[in-house]
Chains A and B, each alone.
Chain A
Amino acid sequence: MTRIKTSRRSFLKGSVAVGGAALTASTTANSSEPDPLITEMQEWAQFTGDGVDATPYGLPIDFESDVVRRNVEWLTADTISSVNFTPIHALDGTITPQGCAFERHHSGAIELRKEDYRLMINGLVEKPLIFTYEDLERFPRENHVYFCECAANTGMEWAGAQLNGAQFTHGMIHNMEYTGIPLRTLLNEAGIKPEGSWVFVEGADASSNGRSIPLEKALDDVFVAFKANGEALRKEHGYPVRLVVPGWEGNMWVKWLRRVEVTDQPIESREETSKYTDTLADGTSRKWTWVMDAKSVITSPSPQAPIKHKSGPLVVSGLAWSGHGAITRVDVTLDGGKNWYQARLAKPGETKALTRFYLDIDWNGKEMFLQSRAHDDTGYVQPTKKQLRKVRGLNSIYHNNCIQTWWVKKGGEVENVEVS
């Protein structure tokens, strides 16, 4: 019985999918022909669907199988030390589902059981300590939503428009609700000696990815997280415990956190000297450029999310964020910066978290040059690429928070461009 039903259903599914695609465009136009999706009996309206437990841990429905992380193969030598990109062009709201949140590994994503997890606090402390995962769960817990952006996000766009898709230009970002404990709680448990002024944090993976953080930040809002979006961290995001460094570059968000050492100087590790430093036009380089400045991008329409309908109502939507605080305003232009409109924020901006914005327009069906411009609560306004290049040149790689331009063409196709 079940088998027959299944095969009939898959047969029907195939035929409906083809018909459905052809009909999509006509749903808002006047139609003289009745819509067979309405006038003909559909299998989903007649037969039963899956029972509970068909997928004890659910995955997105097959129709959404293109909403996945993607990498850019030519960027790195090997996927073990590489990055992929969040499909921000296909998401809405602000919370990034863990399953499609970008990954960045330096020696691959390791598997570390909670039972095998140890966290060491040492260095300039009264009492060096070892915590198990269970110990961490006994400290007072907090919940916070923060964005995590790789310092190299948009880095490929310094020299010019390169990658044709918001996923690739801006997808090294995710935004999750973390559950965990402030790092200060653990540091206070060990007792910081007066001469301590930095912490050095490292992971349990082969890269260890050590980074130095000023003690002031460590005692402020740095967070030791063991849950994201309500569930355990994913392996690729540092299961069972990662560091969350709100507003600061993603490289500092050490995954598989295993050690926090209080020191009286920065260690100047590989990740904070040879990498994640910003070379200026004259060849000198900025270091300790930790904060991610205010930035925004229109996620739809965008090259991977072209306009599929004719002229008329169109939702322009995007994301804005700032490592300094909350987004207070986002401006959108439809003509490459001649005139700007204030977009509608879906919710008031929250500190160091993604903010969703919308601009609802009546599209005339002609070409547009879409840009968005974020403002944060320090008064900072997202700069143009030209403004940034004037200060930094073309070789900074990191911290490119420029205004992005999407060229929407007459048919609704979208391309990543730079404009005068």
Chain B
Amino acid sequence: MSKSRNLFFLSSLSLVFIFALAYNFADRNITKLPSEPRTVNAEYDFDLRIIAAANAANAPRQTGGPLGLGRKALDEEITAWDLDIAPDGTGLPVGSGSVSYGEEIFSEQCGACHGDFAEGVDRWPELAGGEGTLADDDPLKTVGSYWPYLSTAWDYIHRSMPFGYAQSLSDDDVYAMLAYILYSNDIIDDEDFVLSNENFLDVEMPNAEGFIIDDRDMTEYPVFSQDPCMEDCKVNVEVTMRARVLDVTPEDDGS
């Protein structure tokens, strides 16, 4: 309360008086006056100047740009987390693994869900087969029939598999498993094949050309942006399909 009274009082002082005071206090106190005072009122009373300094330090930040928060990431830390592999092989470590060793560890580490021959168990994913089914009513999408890049499989196995024990495989194990998956998919015929970072980009994935970039803005948006009919839009409405007939909805007494 008293401070605001002071402020009010000071604001009514004449400029001459203010400058006299300013000189006086500036001389007496070590703290220098800011070269461009933000406010006239608060500069020339000792108490008020302390308040002004504190306010300056606490003022809302005016500038954008970096705040200097966080710390530099160390190389060891980046190495530990930056594991992703790009389609051009960026990130791929040196290593290799054979089809035969891959078969062995696949059976141990993956067979329970994916089947010994990568054919899938229960509703766990099939990893092999399905080539030529993508235009069918029920396409079978596997590493062989669907995945466009081998890097994706290396990246995923290495980072997220085995399910429930991720990142427990060595780089060579991953090469070997992938060699076996390629063999299971008949992408590789040679059972002595060894997959490595050297020949990685030579493997041709069957569905590499099977993808197009989202084209809805060409194929759909113009068609679906017409003024719709509001009245007498159809003559007959008949039920053509019923969920009850299919009966796959979970039973629940609470619904």
Contacts and interface: CB of A to CB of B under 8 A. Distances in A.
A380 B221 CA distance: 7
Nearest to A275: B141
A40 to B, nearest CB: 29
Contacts of B32: none
A120 B81 contact: yes
A14 to B, nearest CB: 18
B249 A168 contact: yes
Interface string B236-255: 11111111101011101011
Given A120-B73, A210-B84, A417-B239, A383 B224 contact: yes
A86 to B, nearest CB: 14
B82 A122 contact: yes
A87 to B, nearest CB: 9
Interface in A172-204: 188-189, 191, 200, 202
B213 interface: yes
Contacts of A143: none
Contacts of A77: 113, 122-124
A328 to B, nearest CB: 12
Interface string B159-180: 1100110110000000000000
B210 A128 contact: no
Given A277-B211, A282-B135, A139 B241 contact: no
B235 to A, nearest CB: 8
A204 to B, nearest CB: 9
Given A66-B255, A336-B237, A379-B225, A107 B66 contact: no
Given A131-B70, A417-B242, A394 B137 contact: yes
A65 B253 CA distance: 11
Contact of A139 (B67, B166, B243): B67
Interface string B126-168: 0000000011011101010011110111011001100110110
A323 to B, nearest CB: 11
Interface string A61-93: 000011010111110110011000000000000
Contacts of B186: none
Contacts of B155: 210, 267, 269-270
Contacts of B248: 72, 74, 162-163
Interface residues of A, number: 98
Interface of B is mostly: loop
B231 interface: yes
Given A208-B159, A293-B216, A419-B240, A273 B152 contact: yes
Contacts of B82: 120, 122-123, 259, 261
A76 B123 contact: yes
A68 B249 CA distance: 16
B71 A283 contact: no
B69 A164 contact: no
Given A107-B160, A284-B210, A165 B249 contact: yes
Nearest to A159: B137
B87 A130 contact: no
B241 A138 contact: no
Interface centre among A68, A336, A378 (most CB of B within 10 A): A336
Nearest to B141: A274
A303 B73 contact: no
Given A128-B73, A337-B234, A290 B78 contact: no
Interface of B: 65-67, 69-73, 77-78, 81-82, 84-88, 90, 113, 122-124, 134-135, 137-139, 141, 143, 146-149, 151-153, 155-156, 159-160, 163-164, 166-167, 210-216, 219-221, 223-244, 246, 248-250, 252, 254-255
The 7 closest A-B pairs by CB, nearest first: A66-B254, A283-B135, A336-B237, A283-B134, A416-B243, A128-B73, A206-B166
Given A270-B155, A270-B156, A415-B242, 10 more contacts: A66-B254, A130-B70, A161-B241, A188-B66, A258-B81, A277-B211, A331-B228, A340-B228, A383-B224, A391-B223
